[in-house]
Amino acid sequence: MQATQTCPFFPGGAAEDVAPLLGQRDDLSVSDRSHWPRFGLKGPGSADWLSDAGVALPAPNRLSLSSGFTVLRLGPNDITLLGDPAAPEALTALCARWEAAPGPKGFSSWREEAWAWLHLDGRALEDALARLCAVDLRPRRFVPEAIAQTRFAEVDAVVIRRGGAAEVFFDIAASAAVLRTIRHGGGHP
Amino acid sequence: MKLLSCPLNGPRNIEEFQYLGPLRGRPDPDALSDADWARHLFRAENRPGAMLEWWRHRPSNYVFLAERHTVTNAVIRTFDPSELEPGA
């Protein structure tokens, strides 16, 4: 569950040279949350183990708020929990409990290392999302508990919306390419 | 844009999917002649008509079945493997 010490956009990271593109632009801010805590379980037993641990699971392809974290149910037995760095205790405790459990309990899907996590917000957000993703992510069509597992900025990604912003999870090795695509307006500059 | 309707994710651009080949029986190799077993392993069925095929939605890694007509390329239905009738 420990976040990686060096994320791609960090100094010394693989996408360090692209990091200035993050920035806080007035119309579309992009911030890197790749170092934020999260925990993914996958495989037979993962949903049952989490339910037994008191995590309320939504239906597949839906998200919900549980005690202290957001639960992404990406499939019947593919679940990722998103933590908040300001209050990581609940997620840390759950991870420790999972590590100590005998199983069956699924296996770690290493979301904290394999996924990059970007947070997008700003006046131009809806326009940018429309150009970066074929799924209609406008709030009136994309309900708050929805998850889009689709193509975003020309890579496979998971997209959710919280508090009006959009959050995108994708292969961390594609960090630089995705940020360039976002900043160049959907890959068609 | 060609769309395929994923049972889990809904209609999506065909580029999000990977074709995994036709649904095939799983004969017992001990009950077949060598020739029939070799045919099962190495020959691909390529008959015209409606066929059941395995497909994968790549971003969600979800594997499902589609019934597709190999002449018209029309997708007749898509469904979760748990809905497969025994013996299909």
Going from the C-alpha of A71 to that of each of A65, A124, A155, the distances in angstroms are 6, 27, 23
Amino acid residing at B26:
R
Q: Do A151 and B59 touch (CB under 8 A)?
A: yes
**CATH architecture of the domain with range A17-183:** 2-Layer Sandwich (3.30)
Burial A9-30 (b: 16+ CB within 10 A, else e): bbeebebeebbebbeeeeebbb
Q: Alpha-carbon distance A128 to A182, whole Å?
A: 8
Q: Are A22 and A34 in contact (CB under 8 A)?
A: no
User: Under CATH, domain B3-83 is a member of which superfamily?
Assistant: Folate-binding superfamily (3.30.2270.10)
For chain B, how many residues are written? 88
> Structural domain boundaries of chain A?
17-183
Going from the C-alpha of A31 to that of each of A4, A25, A120, A187, B56, the distances in angstroms are 17, 10, 7, 19, 31
Determine the pLDDT at residue A84.
87
Token couple for A42: 């996958």
Average pLDDT, rounded, for chain B? 93
Q: Alpha-carbon distance A16 to A117, whole Å?
A: 15
Which of A72, A150, A160 to probe the B interface (max B CBs under 10 A)?
A: A150
Distance of CA B43 to the CA centre of its chain: 16
Determine the pLDDT at residue A187.
43
For chain B, percent of residues with pLDDT exceeding 90: 86
* Residues B23-43, mean pLDDT to the nearest whole number: 93
pLDDT digit string (tens) for chain A, length 189 residues: 554 468 999 999 999 999 999 986 779 999 999 999 999 999 999 999 999 999 999 999 999 988 788 999 999 999 999 998 888 899 999 999 999 999 899 999 999 999 999 999 999 999 999 999 999 999 999 999 999 999 999 999 999 999 999 999 999 999 999 999 999 865 444
Amino acid residing at A125:
L
Q: Each residue of B34-68: pLDDT tens digit? A: 999 999 999 988 889 999 999 999 999 999 999 99
Q: Containing H/E element for A157?
A: strand A155-162
Q: Alpha-carbon distance B4 to B64, whole Å?
A: 12
Q: Alpha-carbon distance A59 to A61, whole Å?
A: 6
DSSP, res B45: P
Q: How far is B86 from chain A (nearest CA, A)?
A: 22
> Tokens 């070799």 appear where?
B38
For B3, phi then psi, to 5°, come to -110, 145
Q: Do A156 and B15 touch (CB under 8 A)?
A: no
Determine the pLDDT at residue A5.
62
- Bridge-based pairing state of the strands A165-171 and A155-162: antiparallel
Q: Which residues of B touch A148 (CB under 8 A)?
A: 9
Cross-sheet strand order for the sheet of B62-69: B17-22, B50-57, B62-69, B75-79
Q: Which of A134, A135, A149 sits opposite B60 (nearest CB)?
A: A149
Closest-CA residue to B8 (of B81, B72, B84, B87): B81
> Structural domain boundaries of chain B?
3-83
Interface of B with A in 5-24 (CB under 8 A): 8-9, 12-13, 15-16
Q: Do B8 and A151 touch (CB under 8 A)?
A: no
